Structure 1
Amino acid sequence: MAYAFSPEDVAFLRSAEDVLAECAALDPTRIADVEAARRIAGERAAAVLETVALRRKARGKLDPGGWLFTGDALQQASASAVARHRASRLAGRDVHDVTCSIGADLAELAKVARRAVGSDVDSVRLAMARHNCPDVPLVRADALRPVTRDAVVVADPARRDARGRRWRPEDFAPPLGRLAEVYAGRELAVKVSPGLDFASLTWADEVELVSFDGQVREACLWTGGLATDARRATVLRSGGPSWTITSAEPDDIGAGEPGQWIIDPDGAVVRAGLVKHYGARHGLWQLDERIAYLTGDEPPPGLRAFRILEHGPYQEKSLRSLLKRYEIGRLEILVRGLDLDPDALRRRLKPRGPREATVVLTRIGRSPHAFLCTPTHP
């Protein structure tokens, strides 16, 4: 169970950087280290140990420096690169982050906004935000009780437990529909789970899916003049160029025979429903109009793709023979459009040999199809 910080803990931690530095290498799971923390920090030892552990956990996700966190706030916070991208769309505007929490998004907004203000109903998180964003005006307020008038409203509602495989608007706190009602007529940017069912959100003028280093991190709902297209996918990479694609681009591709490569578009493109748009941009086509795999004779740069060695109708016995002929021992199995468990199938296939390959299993028309491929990495 996560440690519950008190206001007194936060007041101590805000002026205890020397204590935190002295305890930075301690491990809260080791009895000896816990005893050492008690000697150094006294009754605040648990808060100190939790803070140094959270700072370690934040590395690679945030640019935290000497920040303060709660466990839940760190888990919900956007990666710095994602928050920076969202803030870039609000550059030069007056912005109010109505669920600022510990300030992860607010810190990026403050760098580019004309004016930025933050608010939160949680007094502990707000005290941490005052430490993390010392130059930003903050106020304790319920997100559903507006305390500004004309600023763009940024919100990151807390996630409750989703029911089934998809999130619903009422699975958030505050509920998305209430946010839209309370701020009707205001421009909104609302961060939500990428697994949300967007069909019912008629008030959202744009849905943007964002991935970072190959993983879909979040979605953002944009309204009014902030929206540029109905759907957008943004792909961010820490070690390479970032790019975006929208529903305004052409999507006139069809389905056809396999080319030399199979391309699995970035998850943000798939979830945004922009597979055809991405294919049209790069001269690709679909294997099947209902399946998100693309194919072509040259893969887009910077994307993991799969060069086809052989393909044909899928039968487990035939696939086992093919793997044996190619001496495949290290096998990746990708499945889309078929009810197959890749791990269970791998155990049944029992691949043995010195070579590595990827098997792509999918449906073309009504028939299951198998592709034996060699993967390339960006």
Structure 2
Amino acid sequence: MELAELTALLTPEGLRLVDDLGAIDGTDDVAATVSRLRAAGLSPDLVAAAVGQARLRSRARAKFGAFADRMLFTRAGLEQATRLEVGARHAGRFRDAGVARVADLGCGIGGDALAFAGIGLDVVAVDADEVTAALAAYNLAPFGEQAQVRHARAEEVDLAGVDAVWLDPARRTAGHTETTRVGAGDWSPPLDWVWDLAARVPAGVKLGPAFDRTLIPEDAEAQWISVDGSTVELVVWTGKLARPGIRRSALVIRGGSAAELTAAGDADDAPVRELGAYLHEPEGAVIRARLIGEVARSLDAGMIDAKIAYLTSDAPAAGSSDGTASPFVQSFRVREQLPNDPKALGKALRERGIGTLEIKKRGVDVDPASLRTKLKLRGPEQATLFVTRVGDRRVTLLADRV
């Protein structure tokens, strides 16, 4: 969004127009709406801004639910924003640590600040980009003086009276229009500055889940988070926001329920064992936190290969006292091993009437989309196919979700 579009949007006419447009999802809807509004005599800047916001609101409901319908976004800001259910958990950690006033340094569109203010914390939300800061101010306006928004660089903010900070560095390289990842030496604010601040002030530092682990301070808590099967972020907690004795954490949220695995450090992997009746795929947060061994031992399972993050056992993955499935893995009952050759594999699958196939691969050079085309599937049945490696052997396993 350019400044001219923002100026047109932040008017009574512009905001009413966005609300009146409702959901716009497809390209055809966008084209038709633009043509209709231009024919009605509305300015190009207003049309572009309003239609863009209507489409972004549709996408934002996956992260913000009903709150999305009264928020404003940039494309980059929405992509980078923390999901509301995750932000609420972060906010709860600040509150439980006795924090009353938090500075959100690099607030983006204000998603995290919204969660902080929503549970009663005072927030100073800061963003270096003028358009993004203006949208954050709009999104946080219902909280009045409780949530103050400033257009400034994180390094320039006076933190007097602030109990803790929240930082989201290196998420954007060119303001509100780009989301390209940056190199190790191009963090904004600089990573050295971030860690120095986090050593002096209790902090939560939001990073990508693939962040270089060697750069995590030794005395911090590193928490990887998965939501509905996707590993969404790493948060490094310092000071009183870091829990005593915990240096590694995997928080898994699925279907609104949450479970967490914690440890004092990386866990030793479980021994490799022969393929059993069940195959277990650890959640991404568990893999990133290097806690696969903890999960394996809780399931009486072993690794199928020392370098492949699949577990196997002879029994289902009961992860609690009531016998329910472990929240830290997705489990599959292995049917049989099938040929690796695509032609023979496709024939075997058709013979079994499998027309719907979920393809998972690890440790092998396979393009699932290309393989699916070669298989020429047909039939009413469904299953999951694992293409992976055991030792120096490629194996193809047919399985069913438990």
- Scaled to the shorter chain, the TM-score interval is 0.7 to 0.9
Residue 33 in structure 1 maps to residue 48 in structure 2: no
Distance 1:166 1:280 in 2: 36
Residue 99 in structure 1 maps to residue 106 in structure 2: yes
The alpha-carbon deviation at position 206 of structure 1 amounts to 2.1
The alpha-carbon deviation at position 264 of structure 1 amounts to 0.7
The alpha-carbon deviation at position 168 of structure 1 amounts to 4.7
Distance 1:6 1:203 in 2: 45
CA contact (8 A) 2:5 2:45 kept: no
* 1:234 aligned residue: 251
Matches within 5 A, 1:267-306: 267-296=284-313, 297-300=315-318, 301=325, 304-306=330-332
The alpha-carbon deviation at position 52 of structure 1 amounts to 2.3
* 1:219 aligned residue: 234
Distance 1:247 1:209 in 2: 12
- List structure 1 runs of 4+ shifted beyond 6 angstroms: none
Q: Deviations over 1:143-169 (max 9, x none)?
A: 0124114521101124257xxx99754
Aligned-residue RMSD, C-alpha: 3.1
Partner SS for 1:178: helix
CA contact (8 A) 2:87 2:115 kept: yes
CA shift in 2, pair 1:166/1:308, >3 Å: farther
Amino acid at match of 1:22: D
* 1:79 aligned residue: 83
* 1:90 aligned residue: 94
Distance 2:340 2:44 in 1: 65
Distance 1:188 1:178 in 2: 13
Distance 2:201 2:396 in 1: 51
Residue 45 in structure 1 maps to residue 47 in structure 2: yes
Partner SS for 1:139: strand
Partner SS for 2:68: coil
* 1:246 aligned residue: 262
Q: What is the identity percentage for the equivalent residue pairs of Structure 1 and Structure 2?
A: 32
CA shift in 2, pair 1:321/1:100, >3 Å: closer
CA contact (8 A) 2:23 2:55 kept: no
CA shift in 2, pair 1:347/1:121, >3 Å: closer
* 1:371 aligned residue: 397
Q: Mean Cα displacement is larger for which, 269-278 or 312-321?
A: 312-321
CA shift in 2, pair 1:37/1:263, >3 Å: farther
CA shift in 2, pair 1:123/1:321, >3 Å: closer
* 2:118 aligned residue: 111
**2:193 pairs with 178, 195, 198, which one?**
178
Q: Mean Cα displacement is larger for which, 83-92 or 42-51?
A: 42-51
Distance 1:121 1:6 in 2: 19
CA contact (8 A) 1:254 1:285 kept: yes
Partner SS for 2:364: coil
Count of aligned pairs between the two proteins: 369
CA contact (8 A) 1:144 1:174 kept: yes
**1:61 pairs with 60, 63, 68, which one?**
63
Partner SS for 1:159: coil
Amino acid at match of 2:385: V
CA contact (8 A) 2:271 2:303 kept: yes
CA contact (8 A) 1:95 1:113 kept: no
CA shift in 2, pair 1:53/1:223, >3 Å: same
Partner SS for 2:226: strand
Give the TM-score, by structure 2 length: 0.80
Distance 1:45 1:313 in 2: 56
Q: Which runs of 5+ in 1 are unaligned?
A: none
Partner SS for 1:232: strand
Greater per-residue helix proportion:
2
The alpha-carbon deviation at position 263 of structure 1 amounts to 0.9
**1:130 pairs with 129, 137, 141, which one?**
137
Partner SS for 2:31: coil
Q: Mean Cα displacement is larger for which, 311-320 or 359-368?
A: 311-320
**1:152 pairs with 164, 174, 183, which one?**
164
